[in-house]
Amino acid sequence: MPATEHRFLKTASRCRSKEVALQLGMLDDMTRRLFEEDLEKITKNELIWQSAPGNNTIGMLLAHLAVVETYWTQIGVDRVQVADSLAVIGIEMDDDGLPLPEGGLPPAGLKSKTLDWYRDLLEKSRKYVNGRWGRLTDADLKKRLTRIRKNGDRVITDPRWVLYHVIEHFAVHQGQILLIRHQYRDARAGR
């Protein structure tokens, strides 16, 4: 008899906006799948493996996911001009090592980190993200946000785009993490 698989998306709770609840639900499900399925049985060596100098490691990307969703929440919801991840997740904005310079090595501070440490980092970030985004109404999602970059350029956006970008960013790096896992397996098999 064929198996039946059930897949449903749970929206985030305690959100004033159904749109935010849906998008945070997507982000939470992607995170669940990343840790429960994609990174199943990952080793510490695999977390720090670098295919070549200048390339990202899985650990760097996991830290980067937490840094970036914290950053964009501070920019898009808290509306700060300069984000600071240290108070929220316990690491600085640049502690993920991204972007690495050509020929660069991963940050030494991530070398001893375990998958549980990265999971905890993302849980801290997600708690912050869900709390901040959950307060917004549908009307808040349309309010214009003007940000000045370090070079003086102005960026005008709204919280709706920011939340979309956080999801897009997560998905892109989740794919990169899967690619690195394949590269690691191929390298270990001598292919």
Judged by DSSP in three states, 96 sits in: coil
Average pLDDT, the chain: 95
Gyration radius of the chain's alpha carbons:
18
Band of pLDDT at residue 28, cut at 50, 70 and 90: very high
pLDDT band at residue 149, thresholds of 50, 70 and 90? confident
- The mean pLDDT of 99-126, rounded to a whole number, is 97
DSSP code per residue over 9-49? PPPPSS-S-HHHHHHHHHHHHHHHHIIIIITTT--HHHHH-
- With 90 as the cut, is the pLDDT of residue 81 above it? no
> 147: helix, coil or strand?
strand
Give the C-alpha separation, 74 to 22, whole Å: 20
The Cα–Cα gap between 137 and 109 comes to 39
Single pTM value for the model:
0.94
The CATH fold of domain 28-189: Four Helix Bundle (Hemerythrin (Met), subunit A) (1.20.120)
CA distances from 42 to 48, 105, 177, 183, 189 (A): 11, 21, 11, 13, 16
Which single residue is written with the structure tokens 């502690």? Answer: 95
Closest CA to 141 of 24, 9, 10: 24
CA-based nearest residue to 67, from 101, 35, 94: 94
